[in-house]
Amino acid sequence: MTVDFEIDENLAFVRDYVRAFARDTLRPLAREADEKGKLPTETIKQLGTFAGNRASIMPEENKGNGEKRSSIAAMMAVIGSEELAWGDPAVVLNIPGPGLAAPSIRAAGTPEQQKRFLDDIFNVDSGEPRFGALAVTEPQAGSDVSNVQTTAVQDGDEWVLNGTKMYCTNGARAEIVVVNATVDKSLGRQGQKFFVIEKGAPGFKVGKIEKKMGLTASETAELILDDCRIPFDNILGGAEALEPKGSGFKGTMKAFDSSRPSVAAMALGIGRAAFEYARDWVSSELPMNTSFPRKAAIEQKLGRMKRELDAARGLVWQAAWMADNKIPNSKEASMAKAYAPPAGLRACIGAIQIMGPEGYSKEHLVEKWFRDIKVYDIFEGTGQIQRVVISRKILGRLD
């Protein structure tokens, strides 16, 4: 298999466009958003303008119209994700759009569902910012997604859902939330399906808003489904999802094969931000009379940070390239997700160590990036779960 990492002019344009936005808009908002724990509504609306511009340059398939996937959609996603997170990962999560609802809807939804649920979210000209969300984690089912207790029971032309979801990004303000629930416990994992809950659905309640160590400007909500009623057609995949070979646990989990490289790319972006900040600090602030052993140690640390981040990018791009070329990439997506967040975390730790007390100070952003990046090794499947997926794919035991 030959992997082509050539950046064509389209990808280069997207990278440069997003990089400029991250530098000029996101980075200046980072500290205030972190301290206040939120962004003003007007600022979110301004971010919506970017979302509209971004949607206009996205491949058509990414807009939810069900047409053939562009050959650079996944590469565009990971390149853009890295640059946005380099600007600020928490502010990024306030950019209006379908968020993590999109991969599940694209992976398992019918063409009609893709158009119905995603087109409206991308319509930023509607005035108010609009968000989508994915709710999978439960109090007793975190990384083990197959252990979810939320149930879905058909009642005429509706589904009735009961359960509790946790740590849902943008869950309280989302127009649509994709949730997984079990329709038949006797079927095990195959009895698990994905559903779209629309804002205002009867029995859909928002619980507490989490207070977190990092990504403080990002809303993370508890969602309660108390006899929540949704239309029958809101099961992803439609009626065919209920057939024996319909989109069950394995089918819908393939959505993570496209989202995990993007999450890994965000971790890479945070680590790159810390590396570049420390590198520039050394160039401008390190005293000229610094001892040779300390200079050598700093050089070695910077070199190691750079090597690991570049290696992470290779894994991320490989997983994205395979997705764009319709090559199964579960193992590669998990490899990227397992490697990039720890590499980014080590870069953040290294930056603090290089800068010493200044790195620990809130006068610099490296301490914030250190707090932000840890969760990237947790959500979308922990590093431990990724290593299980990798080993089982190597041994041919994932099924």
pLDDT in tens, 4-54: 667 888 889 989 999 999 999 999 999 999 999 999 888 888 888 876 665
> What is residue 53's predicted lDDT score, i.e. its pLDDT?
65
For residue 159, being part of any structural domain is answered with yes
Residue 4 lies in a domain: no
- The secondary structure of residue 141, as a DSSP letter, is B
Does residue 314 belong to any structural domain of this protein? yes
- Please give the pLDDT value at position 120: 67
Confidence band (pLDDT; 50, 70, 90) for 398? Answer: low
User: pTM of the full predicted structure?
Assistant: 0.89
Share of the chain above pLDDT 90, in %: 63
CATH code (residue 188) = 2.40.110.10
Q: How do residues 119-174 score in pLDDT, each as one tens digit?
A: 866 665 556 788 999 999 998 877 777 788 999 999 999 999 999 999 999 999 99
Among residues 74, 180, 200, which one has the least CA distance to residue 134?
180
- Identify whether the C-beta of residue 101 lies closer than 8 Å to the C-beta of residue 132: yes
Query: In this structure, are 258 and 375 located in the same domain?
Result: yes
Q: Is residue 2 part of a domain?
A: no
Taking the C-alpha atoms of residue 346 and residue 261, their distance in angstroms, rounded to an integer, is: 19
Instruction: Using the 3D structure, point to which of 126, 152, 182 is the last residue of a domain.
Output: 126
- How does residue 79 score in pLDDT terms, banded at 50, 70 and 90? very high
Q: Is 36 among the domain residues?
A: yes
The answer for residues whose C-beta is within 8 angstroms of residue 302's C-beta and 6 or more apart is 275, 278, 279, 282, 350, 354
User: Is residue 1 in some structural domain?
Assistant: no
299 and 210 in a common domain = no
Q: Which tokens in the block code for residue 101?
A: 């609802």
Q: Which token pair is 334?
A: 């998990």
Question: Both 269 and 363 in a single domain?
Answer: yes
Residue 194: which H helix or E strand, with range?
strand 192-198
Residue that terminates a domain, selected from 109, 126, 143 = 126
Structural domain that includes position 53: 9-126
**Residues 307, 233 share a domain:** no
DSSP labels, 197-229 = EETT-TTEEEEEEP--SS-TTS-EEEEEEEEEE
Report pLDDT digits (tens) over 240-285: 888 766 565 665 577 788 889 999 999 999 999 999 999 999 999 8
Pick the residue with more confidence: 196 or 125? Answer: 196
Mean of the pLDDT values across residues 375-389?
90
Question: Which CATH number fits the domain that encloses residue 84?
Answer: 1.10.540.10
Mean pLDDT of the chain: 88
238 with 113: CB under 8 angstroms? yes
pLDDT of residue 66: 47
Quick one: 118 and 154 in the same domain?
no
User: What is the Rg, in whole angstroms, of the alpha carbon atoms belonging to the chain?
Assistant: 21
Residue among 86, 85, 87 at smallest CA distance from 29? 87
Residue 58 has pLDDT above 60, yes or no: no
Q: Are residues 211 and 316 in the same domain?
A: no
State whether 259 and 359 are in the same domain: yes
Residues 193 and 274 in one domain: no
d(CA 237, CA 241): 5
Total domains, the chain: 3
With 0-12 CB in 10 A as exposed, 13-18 as middle and 19+ as buried, what is 62? Answer: buried
Q: Do 141 and 119 share a structural domain? A: no
Give backbone dihedrals phi and psi of 260, rounded to 5 degrees, phi first: -65, -40
Measured distance CA(162)–CA(225) in Å, rounded: 5
pLDDT band for position 69 (cuts 50, 70, 90)? very low
Q: Residue 261 is part of a domain; what is its CATH number? A: 1.20.140.10
**pLDDT number for residue 63:** 47
Q: What does the CA dihedral 135, 64, 9, 310 come to, rounded to 10 degrees?
A: 20
What are the φ and ψ backbone dihedral angles of 224, each rounded to 5 degrees? -115, 125
Is the Cβ–Cβ distance between 164 and 225 less than 8 Å?
yes
Q: For residues 374 and 141, give the distance between their C-alpha atoms in angstroms, rounded to a whole number.
A: 20
3 located within any domain: no
b/e string for 179-196 if b means 16 or more Cβ within 10 A? bbbbbeeeeeebbbbbbb
95 phi and psi angles, rounded to 5 deg:
-75, 120
Please report which confidence band the pLDDT of residue 187 belongs to, taking 50, 70 and 90 as the band edges: confident
- The model's confidence at residue 379, banded by pLDDT at 50, 70 and 90, is confident
- In what helix (H) or strand (E) does residue 359 lie, and over which residues does it extend? helix 357-360
Find, among 299, 341, 335, 343, the residue nearest to 318 by Cα. Answer: 335
Same domain membership, residue 227 and residue 140: yes
Q: What is the pLDDT of residue 291?
A: 86
In this structure, are 369 and 294 located in the same domain? yes
Q: What whole-number distance in Å separates Cα of residue 321 and Cα of residue 375?
A: 25
d(CA 364, CA 345): 17
CA distance 282 to 295: 9
Residue 254 has φ and ψ, to the nearest 5°, of -65, -15
From 246, 270, 295, give the residue that closes a domain: 246
Report if residue 34 sits inside a domain.
yes
The pLDDT tens digits for 316-357 are 999 999 998 889 999 999 999 999 999 999 999 999 999 999
Same domain, 96 and 136: no
Please give the positions annotated as active site.
380
pLDDT digits (tens, 9 = 90+) for 228-238: 999 999 999 99
pLDDT band for position 288 (50/70/90)? confident
